[in-house]
Amino acid sequence: MESNSCCRCCEGGVEAGLQGHDTFIQFLRRKEKRLQRMAQFIAVAAILLVSGALALVITVGLGGRCPQSPDCQVKMQPDTIPSDISVNSKQTSKSQDQEDLKYPSAMLTAPRGNNTNGEYLQWDNNTGHAHCSGGFRCDQGDLVVPRKGLYRVFLQITYEFGDETCEESQLKLNSKVILYASNYRREVPILSAIDTVQCKHGLSKSLYTSGLFSLGTNDRLRVRSSYRKYIAKNEYQVFFGAELLPQ
């Protein structure tokens, strides 16, 4: 009886030992798996870190430029323009506006269509070299002065005679710049150009005049001319304007 009890105790001890051994093996396997997963995570992190470092080195080496590839060309759109270029452009535009305000100028040219508004000539302020800047504006043929100052006023009118029959053998050509002063409310001729020509086919005659005048804010300049139907239509032949002189 004692021998059987001893055997059963031995068997129990062996089984307990085997179970403990199995548990220890399972523990080692779980630990091995955790170490494998940790090693994979470290490897991925290392790859990402190295890739980021290489990208930074390439970017610095190229001076921040993208390699010349189709993908790069697509991405380099206006929204990626360096901020300093945008700022410089805005500053240039602002400086130009300030310069225009500092020295207002205007040049009007002959219109393509009807060139009269009652007894005064009409003008074009949008075509070709025609412009109004620094506060000048064109109102129904009148050139309106932006502010008080000393201005150079100029006028050129070219008359051309084609196949039309002249009303007279001699024509007295006359062009004038009229000032309508805002403080006096009356018209005053300030420039005039006069010439007498023989009316004949193919004749072209230009009258030019200019002068310096002290003008006030909202003063109006307008032009009156004789023989308006003979006035040329080209901007380089017929123009009228003013500019503020530096103080």
What is the predicted pLDDT for the residue at 39?
A: 74
Q: Which ranges constitute the DSSP H helices of the chain?
A: 2-61, 70-75, 83-102
User: Dihedral of CA 232/235/236/242: which sign?
Assistant: positive
Residue 209's identity, in one-letter code, is: T
Question: Model pTM?
Answer: 0.60
Question: Tokens at residue 4, please?
Answer: 């059987």
The CA–CA distances, whole Å, from 53 to 49, 56, 66, 67, 159 equal: 6, 5, 16, 17, 76
What is the reported pLDDT for 189?
96
Q: Let me know if 209 is exposed, middle or buried by CB neighbors in 10 A (0-12, 13-18, 19+).
A: middle
Count Cα atoms within 13 angstroms, Cβ side, for 15: 6
pLDDT given for residue 240 in this prediction: 97
Name the token pair of 34. 């955790």
CA distance 140 to 83: 43
Tokens standing for 84? 């300093």
**Cross-strand partners of 173:** 195
Give the pLDDT score at 150. Answer: 97
Tell me the residue type at 57: V
Tokens 């055997």, residue?
7
Structure tokens belonging to residue 3 = 């021998």
Element (H, E) at 186: strand 186-198
pLDDT averaged over consecutive 10-residue blocks of the chain (247 residues)?
49 54 69 75 74 63 46 44 53 53 90 79 91 93 95 96 75 95 89 91 91 96 92 93 94
Give residue 99's pLDDT: 55
Say if residue 230 is exposed, middle or buried (CB neighbours under 10 Å; 0-12, 13-18, 19+): buried
Backbone angles phi, psi at 23, to 5 degrees: -65, -40
- The pLDDT score that the predictor gives to residue 88 is 55
SS3 state of residue 129? coil
Say which residue the tokens 């390439």 belong to: 58
Q: pLDDT at position 119, please?
A: 87
Secondary structure letter of residue 238 according to DSSP: S
Structure tokens of 38? Answer: 């940790």
Predicted confidence at residue 61, as pLDDT, reads 54
